Structure 1
Amino acid sequence: MDRLQVEGSDRLARHEANGLYVIYWRRGEIFYKTKGSPESVAPSDRGVEPRRPEDETNLQGPERDNQFEGVFYRWNGKHREFLQHTPRGWLLTGISTDVIDEHMAVFKWQLIGLGVIVIAFGVAVGWIMATRAMKPIVAMSSTATKIAAGDLSQRIDETSTKNELGQLAHVLNDTFGRLDSSFEQQVRFTADASHEMRTPLAVILAKSELALVRERTPEKYQETIKTCYDSAQHMSSLIESLLELARVDSGEFKVQREQGNIGLEVSTCVDMLRPLAEKRGITVESDIQGIEMEFDAQRIRQVVINLLSNAVKYNHEQGKIFVRVRKENNEAVISVQDTGPGIKPDDLKNIFNRFYRVDKSRNSKQGSTGLGLAISQAIVQAHEGRLEAESDFGAGTTFRMRLPLK
């Protein structure tokens, strides 16, 4: 046999293995029949349904089968068969539905297996993705729990939240930071306030106890009463300052703006503090421009008096103070400059903190509580302005209050 015959035989053998069979009739007799062919099969069996473009007719016998050429199909029990009419006979090709059912059963189980694999893979991938998505939330919850327990130093690791939760983690860390700072400031504030209150109380108790130990002269009693009075005055000033800051922290601090001339208010404050400056030989020079605007006169006067008092307290003997009021870029700028020793850069950035004092020993002797600048800053901020400070250490300090014109 040549190569084509060999390939044809091999191909036919493969088809037979898959349940396909072929029968060829020639002159009414079976000329060729493959293995696996059913016994009850003939081209003249009833039930053959012809299919041709010109006509569709049910064949009744071999006489009509041989009248035209065409391809027909039929069901022969569990066999699906196709018939081809040729000039010399019939060619039948068929396949058992049992083979098809077996293939479909195998295909069904393959589909079921594939479905199970897809579902298992989807569940595994979903679990991994859900775990990764929940990990930052679990970390946030753990951090919040530790903070609620009192450890305010805890922060969320933002490097592990690169998705949309990263922004939330950043906001929460910022909130935790401000909360930590607020608690720390509150603790420090309470400790400093207690310390400030303890000193004058200790003085009053010591002086009173000393006066009661034995009888004193009127002069000694008068000295004791004067010391107790000064200490009480210091405590009263401290309590007023604390109440003022408490209103700031609670949001109850308000300013009552009214139309007025801020330059005139600053001039009034300068005239009020000038005798105190002249007592120390300090010269006060002013360059004040009258500016009409809306402001709380009482509060602004409080700020200016505090800045002028500091300029007098912390100035050299025979020093100078320069007070200016001018308009700059739609702002009223009030500056107070002194020729005192100045402030070191490390101290300058903390001077607006509560109870912060550059020279603690000197300030305590002068009756300073370290709250004046903090209150002044709160007043200026309530006016939507800024209180700035700059200092040339050894040459003097300048405070500038900038208020927007409305």
Structure 2
Amino acid sequence: MKRLGRAVRGLLGMLAAFAFLVGSWTAAYFILKSLFRRFGAPSSDFVSQLLGILLGFFILFCIGGLISLFSRGRQRAFYIPIMNAIRRIAQGDFTAKVEDVERYGQFGELVEGINEMASELSRMETMRQDFISNVSHEIQSPLTSIRGFARALRSDEISRETREHYLDIIEAESARLSGVSDSLLKLSVLESGNFPFEAKPFRLDKQLRNMILACEPQWMGKGVEVEAELAETTVTAVEDLLSQVWTNLLHNSIKFTPAGGTITISARPLNGGAEVVISDTGTGIGEEDMPRIFERFYKADRARSAGGGGSGLGLSLVKKIIDLHQGEVRAESRAGEGVVFVVTLPGPAGKQQT
């Protein structure tokens, strides 16, 4: 449809140019005829024809100049909204938008592109501001605790038990601060594309078994039962990165599963790759929070997460690592009914760095 419209406009333009040309030559003919009748015609037909051609071109250029002068204002009015929007975007105002896209005809796609660019830049600016705000909050909170309890330790009147309690809190807050810094660094490296993505085949079931044993003090100390169904499964991936994925998911399950609860880990080959399912009988996640759990710093239950020392970066790191492997991670949950995380990794042919 657009091609047909352009073809019609081109044909109309050619017809208009032809009409101007014919009109100019016709006007030149009658003007010269009137002049020759009054002042006499040249003795040579060649001179008469040459004068007619020159006068025809002169009239054509005059008409073109008048049209250009008339349309210059319209062209300026046509481009002013576009230039104003570009200037506002360049100055950091990403709310700029060119209205009435339809009036720009063949330039409509360009105008839509400018609007989409402004919208995307606005979204990125909002994310940047939220990120800075969240980082500041996550760093400020443990620093405030450390400073407060360090100041309290200066008192000679506190008991040994209280002093030990304060020192435990300072140590825990320091570990939390270190965890935030480490997660941010890992996310930054992964997103910059500087991480050496060297995928190699390895036994996923053995890795998961080792991760479960490494977390044994945590889940046994809390009185949580862990069940594993690990079929022999080989994947081609970056082993260290996947180790980070299982660590974060297992620690989340242990953290939010009460004593007497159960965590189940299963792994099986799937279409040349693998599927890993980690489920628990913990507190679960509300339906309204599910779409946002992989966002940086997002905590489905902020009071509970803060008490557990979480930074809200673990699941965003999991999502980034699985995306780098061109896999998929999804969660299923209802508040009070536990959480199920399903991680799907593609076969070797699909392992390419994004």
- TM-score normalised over the length of structure 2: 0.76
- For residue 240 of structure 1, report the CA deviation from its aligned partner: 0.9
CA distance in 2, matches of 1:192, 1:300: 26
- 1:139–1:156 contact (8 Å) kept in structure 2: yes
Corresponding residue for residue 179 of structure 1:
121
Task: Return the index of the structure with the highest Cα Rg.
Answer: 1
Of 235, 238, 242, which aligns to 2:177? 235
CA distance in 2, matches of 1:100, 1:258: 93
Corresponding residue for residue 291 of structure 1:
233
CA distance in 2, matches of 1:393, 1:127: 70
Question: SS of the counterpart of 1:345?
Answer: coil
Q: Compared with structure 1, are the counterparts of its residues 100 and 222 closer, same or farther at alpha carbon in structure 2 (3 Å cutoff)?
A: closer
Q: How big is each residue's C-alpha offset from its partner over 1:91-149, in whole Å with a ceiling of 9 and x where there is no partner? A: xxxxxxx9994189799999888766644543454566676666565433211211222
Question: SS of the counterpart of 2:263?
Answer: strand
- For residue 204 of structure 1, report the CA deviation from its aligned partner: 1.5
Alignment of 1:123-162 (within 5 A): 123-126=65-68, 137-157=79-99, 159-160=101-102, 162=104
Corresponding residue for residue 315 of structure 1:
257
Corresponding residue for residue 333 of structure 1:
275
CA distance in 1, matches of 2:298, 2:326: 24
Of 291, 295, 299, which aligns to 1:357? 299
Counting matched residue pairs gives 309
CA distance in 1, matches of 2:70, 2:231: 71
Q: Which runs of no fewer than 5 residues in structure 1 stay unpaired?
A: 1-97
Question: SS of the counterpart of 1:152?
Answer: coil
Corresponding residue for residue 65 of structure 1:
none
Corresponding residue for residue 224 of structure 1:
166
Q: Compared with structure 1, are the counterparts of its residues 388 and 128 closer, same or farther at alpha carbon in structure 2 (3 Å cutoff)?
A: farther
Q: Which runs of no fewer than 5 residues in structure 2 stay unpaired?
A: 1-32, 42-47, 349-354
Output the amino acid matched with 2:265: V
RMSD of equivalent CA atoms: 3.2
Q: How big is each residue's C-alpha offset from its partner over 1:263-316, in whole Å with a ceiling of 9 and x where there is no partner? A: 221222223234433333333222222222321111101101111111122224
Corresponding residue for residue 166 of structure 1:
108
- 1:158–1:170 contact (8 Å) kept in structure 2: no
Q: Which moved more, 1:279-288 or 1:366-375?
A: 279-288
2:343 matches 1:404: no
CA distance in 2, matches of 1:329, 1:132: 61
Q: Does 1 or 2 have the higher relative contact order (CA < 8 Å, sep 6+)?
A: 2
Q: Compared with structure 1, are the counterparts of its residues 114 and 254 closer, same or farther at alpha carbon in structure 2 (3 Å cutoff)?
A: same
Output the amino acid matched with 1:151: D
- For residue 232 of structure 1, report the CA deviation from its aligned partner: 1.1
Q: How big is each residue's C-alpha offset from its partner over 1:14-51, in whole Å with a ceiling of 9 and x where there is no partner? A: xxxxxxxxxxxxxxxxxxxxxxxxxxxxxxxxxxxxxx
- For residue 362 of structure 1, report the CA deviation from its aligned partner: 0.6
- 1:255–1:299 contact (8 Å) kept in structure 2: no
Q: How big is each residue's C-alpha offset from its partner over 1:48-87, in whole Å with a ceiling of 9 and x where there is no partner? A: xxxxxxxxxxxxxxxxxxxxxxxxxxxxxxxxxxxxxxxx
Q: Which moved more, 1:176-185 or 1:238-247?
A: 176-185
- 1:254–1:382 contact (8 Å) kept in structure 2: no
- TM-score normalised over the length of structure 1: 0.67
CA distance in 1, matches of 2:106, 2:188: 38
Q: Compared with structure 1, are the counterparts of its residues 134 and 253 closer, same or farther at alpha carbon in structure 2 (3 Å cutoff)?
A: farther
Alignment of 1:30-41 (within 5 A): none
- 1:281–1:317 contact (8 Å) kept in structure 2: yes
2:283 matches 1:346: no
Corresponding residue for residue 92 of structure 1:
none
- 1:315–1:339 contact (8 Å) kept in structure 2: yes
Question: SS of the counterpart of 1:402?
Answer: strand
**Identity over aligned residues, as a percent?**
24
Corresponding residue for residue 351 of structure 2:
none
- 1:339–1:396 contact (8 Å) kept in structure 2: yes
Corresponding residue for residue 208 of structure 2:
266
Output the amino acid matched with 1:296: V
Of 367, 371, 377, which aligns to 2:309? 367
- 2:271–2:347 contact (8 Å) kept in structure 1: no
2:56 matches 1:102: no
User: Where is the strand percentage greater, Structure 1 or Structure 2?
Assistant: 1
Q: Compared with structure 1, are the counterparts of its residues 103 and 338 closer, same or farther at alpha carbon in structure 2 (3 Å cutoff)?
A: farther
Alignment of 1:4-83 (within 5 A): none
- 2:277–2:342 contact (8 Å) kept in structure 1: yes
User: Where is the helix percentage greater, Structure 1 or Structure 2?
Assistant: 2
